[in-house]
Amino acid sequence: MSQTSNDPYLLITADTHAGGSHAQYREYLDPKYREAFDEWRGGYKNPSQEHYGSKKMRNWDYDIRTTDQNSQGVVGEVVFPNTVPPFFRKSIVTAQPPTPDHYELALAGIRAHNRWLKDFCAEDPDRRAGIGLILPNDLDEAVKDIEFIAEAGLRGGVLLPLIPPDCTWLKPLYDPAWDKVLAAIQDHDLVINQHSGQGSPSYGEGPVPEALWISEVTFYCQAGWRHLLMSGAYEKFPKLKYILTESGCAWVAPMLKQLDRIHMGFKAGAIGEMNYEGMEWVLKDTPSEYAARNCYYGASFPSLADLEGIDDVGEDRVLWGNDYPHYEGTFPYNTESLRLTFGAIPEERRRKILGLNAAKLYKFDVEKLLPLARQHGPTPEEVNTPLPRDDIPRDSMCYLFNNALYGV
């Protein structure tokens, strides 16, 4: 069963989030930690409770989530974590790695999430590809968690932690200590995922620290991409597949030019007045060559700049996402977002970005999803219809709509 140019689009979002409730997580927690969990839960208050309210059920309720995604034309989803796992202060997507004295409980918490995620994805295995969690504190234990992720069939792969520069008790991703983790990921043919929100140092509490975190989060979330490229990870492990999600892709080409210049300087033995002659450089190829072979970009609801610069990255390397159920995502205005940005994108390229690239990377069975796409997916005619300014949603927090309305 194949698609024609008139068929509805096969939409696979490479960026959604889900997690269990505290009551659900308790059932998946190792029993020896349940007493500590009950004590922690009794004193815990979700800082986002008033913000999310009853909408939190979208994280775990099958009927709500499926109805929502069907209404948006989405037939497959890659699932990042969202709710707060046991013993964490906030969602792991934005939480700093645990300190040494907190590691044991945090490890129990992420393992409870991984067990929950296995069952969550099993509810609808053709449509859900879950991303399992590991922690960076003990890399031997991280390898054990990778083995669980593979055995559980979590084909979304591994959320590789980003290491903030102030977490000095942890090895940075460019350290050879991570080789055992990267080897395990490659051996199990899993995807390395990293996501915007992690990797920043602690700024403290209050509006100014929060504003600084938001202004600098992009730089820090891209650090893992740089560290793996420049440390020779893809030379040692050439079959690795890496994706950075919800960080766009317009920045990739200029950044690769910078990294290539640094690489050539080390090969030549000097960069300006800094002398590197006699040092053994780790890369045989340029960073841009490794990126072309090993890296992908989850450009959730891509901007016009992302789409216009896609030739510099490669149309096979960019994946669309709707960031469900986050407020800054495109729900419930998914088709409107596509009308706003995809009008000038050629048909074959559209189909790759909107679903086929995700299907290939995360091993979705396209033949099983096509009947759902024909039932729920947006049509080329719908996407080709320009979105008038008066029809741009005013009640959405998605930056695509805000940019179109206010130029911010």
At 248-279, the pLDDT tens digits run: 999 999 999 999 999 999 999 999 999 988 88
Strand duo 191-195 + 157-159: pairing: parallel
Query: pLDDT averaged over the chain?
Result: 94
How many angstroms separate the CA atoms of 369 and 260, rounded?
A: 40
CA angle 5, 9, 13 (to 5 degrees): 150
Of 331, 368, 399, 408, which is closest to residue 73 (Cα–Cα)? Answer: 331
Flag whether pLDDT at 284 surpasses 60. Answer: yes
Cβ atoms of 104 and 85 closer than 8 Å: no
Work out the pLDDT band at 45, boundaries 50, 70, 90: low
Residue 238 has pLDDT above 60, yes or no: yes
pLDDT of amino acid 311:
93
Tell me: pLDDT of 408 over 90: no
What percentage of the chain carries pLDDT values higher than 70?
A: 96
| pLDDT on residue 51 | 40
- Global pTM value: 0.95
Is the pLDDT assigned to residue 174 strictly greater than 50? yes
What Cα–Cα distance (Å) separates residue 147 from each residue in 80, 134, 364? 18, 11, 21
Provide the pLDDT for residue 4: 61
The contacts of residue 77 (CB under 8 Å, 6+ apart) are: 12, 13, 16, 69, 127, 128, 129, 324
Phi, psi of 127 (to 5 degrees): -105, -15
129-166: per-residue pLDDT in tens? 999 999 999 999 999 999 999 999 999 999 999 999 99
pLDDT tier at 6, thresholds 50, 70, 90 = confident
The per-residue pLDDT for 261 is: 97
Are the C-beta atoms of 295 and 255 separated by less than 8 Å?
no
Q: Which of 296, 261, 302, 267 is nearest to 281 (CA)?
A: 267
Q: Please determine, for residue 342, whether its predicted confidence score (pLDDT) is greater than 50.
A: yes
So what's the pLDDT on residue 44? 65
- Location of structure tokens 């989405």: 74
Instruction: Identify the band that residue 46 occupies on the pLDDT scale cut at 50, 70 and 90.
Output: low
pLDDT-based confidence at residue 406 (cuts at 50, 70, 90): confident
Domains of the chain: residue spans and CATH: 11-406 (3.20.20.140)
* Predicted pLDDT at 50: 44
What pLDDT score does 18 carry? 97
% pLDDT > 90, the chain: 87
Q: What is the pLDDT of residues 47-66, one digit of tens each?
A: 555 444 557 899 999 999 99
Quick: pLDDT tens for 368-392: 999 999 999 999 999 999 999 999 9
Instruction: Read off the pLDDT of residues 300-341 as tens digits, 9 standing for 90 and up.
Output: 999 999 999 899 999 999 999 999 999 999 999 999 999 999
- Compute the average pLDDT of residues 208-214: 91
Quote the pLDDT of residue 54: 56
